[in-house]
Structure 1
Amino acid sequence: MKIRKAGKEDFNRIMVIYAHARKFMAEHGNPNQWGLTNWPPEELIKNDIENELSYVCVNKSETVVGVFYFDKGIDIEPDYIDIEDGEWIGDNEYGVVHRIAADGSEKGIGAFCINWAFEKCGHLRIDTHGDNIVMQNLLKKLGFTRCGTIYVKEDDYPRIAFEKL
């Protein structure tokens, strides 16, 4: 597998992957994270691609099997400024991964994408819904530390914040 920036030509495939992810999450006890609002919206994904912040994971046959948002910098995620029931570990530049999803065709896509992002910055923050046990287990397996609770502007559900240095 390899990671590359998403292009406009990947848009339809990306939206298929997000539809698969919504179904997977609902079937695994997490219907509220993306399902109620049909998240993520098409316009947001188009903006991610245009701003070169959307990445795809492709397999050996060059099929797009995963997608995620990645950016890095100082205080790049406004939703991460206020954290409850804990604190962030580091206060330097960090990377953030959002909207990570896979098509389910191969094992290890999520771990591959997250590890790639971590290698790019050495300090990564990510959050997930309290019902997303699959993602929580993956983050723990990859060495992330649970840091507290954050809230996103998209809905009222709290998110569990994780970090790895």
Structure 2
Amino acid sequence: MEFHKATEEDVNSIMNIIRQAQDYFKEQGINQWQDNYPNSEIVKNDIKNKNGYVLLKNNIIVGTVVVSFDGEKNYEYVYGGKWVSSGAYAVIHRIAIDSNNKGLGLSSIIIKNIEKICLNKEVHSIKIDTHKENISMQNMLVKNGFKYCGLIYLENKSERVAFEKSL
């Protein structure tokens, strides 16, 4: 397994994985990642900002994620709970695994790689949010040591469940 920053050449593979996730959410009746989000422009912007990463298995992209250390304005207020910490943190967005590779623990491998990046930057907190109906993501987060912190709201007023892990 190899985990590294995504490049412009990775956009098509990343978008293929994202489309698989969008189809899965639609099939499950989960209103997450619908309405042309995320799209290739967002992915290209993630790469340009050096926040996009890919996980490779046998030189094939099998996972994608965005990691940012720039904060998240939607995380200013947590409803029905509170963040574990108040210091510097990484934010995980748009984590997805290729459909043919689900159930192999690849999301956990991505999380472990993000933890290493954080510790190298002396950042000891990771925050993430997901749709309240995305139970598989919530289970993966809990399995990897994330704690439920409450609810946050996106700019479009969509509700998301928020999690944090201290390192």
TM-score by length of 2: 0.90
Tell me the alpha carbon deviations over residues 21-58 of structure 1, each in whole angstroms, 9 at most, x when there is no partner: 1112233342x0112x1210221111111111100000
- CA distance in 2 between counterparts of 1:24 and 1:114 reads 21
Tell me how far 1:115 sits from its aligned partner.
Answer: 2.0
Gaps of 5+ in 1: none
Count of matched residue positions in the alignment of Structure 1 and Structure 2: 159
- Percent identity (aligned): 40
Moved over 3 A (4+): none
Q: Does 1:120 align with 2:120?
A: no
Q: Which runs of 5+ in 2 are unaligned?
A: 119-123
**For residues 107 and 39 of structure 2, what CA distance do their matches in structure 1 show?**
21
Output the CA distance in 1 between the equivalents of 2:135 and 2:28.
8
1:105 and 1:118 mapped to 2: Cα distance? 25
Calculate the aligned-residue CA RMSD, in Å: 1.3
1:134 corresponds in structure 2 to: 136
Which of residues 70, 82, 90 in structure 1 aligns to 2:85? Answer: 90
Residue identity matched to 1:125: K
Aligned to 2:36: 38
Match of residue 104, structure 1, among 99, 121, 124: 99
1:65 paired to 2:62 = yes
Contact 1:97 1:114 survives alignment (8 Å)? no
TM-score by length of 1: 0.91
Distance 1:12 1:157 in 2: 28
What is the distance in 1 between the residues matched to 2:28 and 2:106? 18
Query: Does structure 2 retain, via aligned residues, the 8 Å contact 1:70–1:95?
Result: yes
